[in-house]
Structure 1
Amino acid sequence: MAAAATGACDFSKPSAAAGKEATTFSHEVTYHASCEAVYRALTDTYDLSRMMRAPATSDTKVGGEFSWMGGAISGKYTVLEKDSKIGMVWRMRDWADQVYSTVTIALEADGHGVCKLSLKQDGIPVTDKFGNGGTDRATKNGWKERILVVGLSKIIGFALREEDDE
């Protein structure tokens, strides 16, 4: 994937958001589904496209790049532990150049067909590259409304419980 597809961000360097105003978001959702199904839905190109109702790509390997929602979100995988953990450097297209956040998704099975997803995203900028505020709220709402609850429910089944850091 070309650098332009990932917002021309050099993911090997520290984020320019370090030291600037940034927020953290944590969220937990429990699904009546296997962790295998949840992991696949969050890494498989076909499932991502269906879930987000927009083009997606996913080179599912450490260092592999992804692009969601037609390039509105992009990044690289930093950790891929099958059915248990996904780590990413992650950015939105309208964030300032070289600004990205880190996302960690942990999946925990209860042994009874239930999977608990714990997401933490660090380094979410408060403003976009145009100086508009609310970027942190938009990011949180996107995860909750478009991906974790509504999106995943379309692919794997309804969420049983949701817990927020707010």
Structure 2
Amino acid sequence: MTVTKLSDNEITMKVCGVEITTNEVFICLLSHDHGVFTVPDCRQRSITSTKNPDTAAIRGFYAGFNKLMEDYSVDEVVIIERPLKGKLAGSTLGFKLETAIQLIEMPVSIITPSTIKEQLKRNRINIPFEGLGLKKFQQQAFNAAYAYQSQLLFQNK
């Protein structure tokens, strides 16, 4: 991971936030550099998998996601944790996609919805989501990336 520490609480890094649904992965890139967050352009906002993927499809997803992260020089991927049981539990395919992401050649972290909520409450975003140039379906992925970076930046506050 290429994280540059500029001072006691300032870092420079690019994170990809990930939200996984039944057969779709929503992504959002977020950079932090010299105290400023930016949302870099990305050629993909979501990646859809077939409902019944075989080994070749999962390998294709893995290769495509890994290449996307390399192309945009992402330092770390942050995935929103999903429940294993209950009404909101993740699908089998979703867990396969998550596993493929976790195997890419860079650090991958899992962030809980409660941590995201806590960080968003503690470190408010000063611009409306609509002003970021993202699609509505990317909001949770953005929140994950922002919360993760905020947690690193402001961990001593």
TM-score by length of 2: 0.26
Q: Which has the higher strand share?
A: 1
Q: Which has the higher helix share?
A: 2
TM-score by length of 1: 0.25
